[in-house]
A and B are shown apart, each in its own frame.
Chain A
């Protein structure tokens, strides 16, 4: 199980290089890039914020889009709280590690003790890998100089897609492994919602200032979850 967590850490860490490079290409300094990975520590939000910056969006749209995407961590935390049962200061440490992957690894375990082990190992593995690779990507991109020349400005949308696409499929496979039941309705539902959100973003991109499409797509996903 620890090996699983380390594996997830390494896989996710690979995207850290893309984030570091994209962030520097968007105009953030190496230090600002690393501070984002160290303190915000939630990949989707980081890519969204940097994407809006590189698109020339305002502070409000960048922050709004980022925080809307970050709001799903609140729901993960609500799900993890009774499972991890951390008290006092450790709760505030656990909060920082509450992200997609650590939640997925913890919730997949039926035994709470194992869930806790999975959560902490995944958190630590990803935290170390994500921050190391962010720094490597940022320093590398800075050494290259003008990012547009190397097409680094295309990294944000590409990495965002790469980050999301396999998850749509994995959610399906993994849940079928876990309980052998037919999970098609739920994953199709996820796919539909994701496709709807993507469509909203695509339609809005030529019409609205940078950042607004991300905001609208994230809001649509939130609404879709609430309306049922």
Chain B
């Protein structure tokens, strides 16, 4: 295995995955399925992100959505 290929492909791929999240159009983020995935997945990967209780999670999200719409208007 060419380790340099692996190292550079891993680095490039990881950065591209991070950037992709910032370039996703706000409209897509408002779709309920996408919203649920964003809320749930980080919990599933045991990241330890303080999502709070299921009750408080949508609240935080609304907060984010409010920001987005204010930016769009």
The answer to the question of B27 belonging to the interface, with a C-beta cut-off of 8 Å to chain A, is: no
Within 8 Å by CB of B37, from A80, A103, A174, A225, lies A225
Whether A178 and B52, one on each chain, are in contact in the complex, defined by CB atoms closer than 8 angstroms, is yes
Which of A78, A174, A193, A225 has most chain B Cβ within 10 Å?
A78
Interface code B11-25, partner A: CB below 8 Å = 1, 0 otherwise?
111110111111010
Which of A46, A58, A67 has most chain B Cβ within 10 Å?
A67
Which A residue sits closest to B29, measured CB to CB?
A: A78
For chain A, residues 194 to 228, give those with C-beta under 8 angstroms from any C-beta of chain B. Answer: 194, 221-222, 224-226, 228
Measured CB to CB, the closest approach of chain B to A69, in angstroms, equals 8
Interface residue tally for chain B (C-beta within 8 Å): 52
Whether B64 and A82, one on each chain, are in contact in the complex, defined by CB atoms closer than 8 angstroms, is yes
Whether B47 and A100, one on each chain, are in contact in the complex, defined by CB atoms closer than 8 angstroms, is yes
Chain B interface, DSSP helix/strand/loop, else mixed: helix
The answer to the question of A59 belonging to the interface, with a C-beta cut-off of 8 Å to chain B, is: yes
Whether B40 and A59, one on each chain, are in contact in the complex, defined by CB atoms closer than 8 angstroms, is no
Chain A interface, DSSP helix/strand/loop, else mixed: helix
If A62-B6, A75-B37, A104-B50 touch, whether A221 touches B21 (CB-CB below 8 Å) is: no
Whether B15 and A190, one on each chain, are in contact in the complex, defined by CB atoms closer than 8 angstroms, is no
Measured CB to CB, the closest approach of chain A to B9, in angstroms, equals 5
Residues of A within 8 A of B17 (CB): 67, 70-71, 73-74
Whether A70 and B37, one on each chain, are in contact in the complex, defined by CB atoms closer than 8 angstroms, is no
Residues of B within 8 A of A85 (CB): 67, 71
18 contacts between A and B (CB under 8 A): A35-B7, A35-B8, A49-B10, A59-B2, A62-B1, A74-B20, A74-B21, A75-B21, A75-B37, A76-B18, A82-B64, A94-B22, A103-B42, A194-B46, A222-B41, A225-B45, A226-B37, A228-B36
Q: Which B residues are within 8 Å of any A CB, using their own CB? A: 1-15, 17-22, 24, 26, 29, 34, 36-38, 40-56, 60, 63-65, 67-68, 71
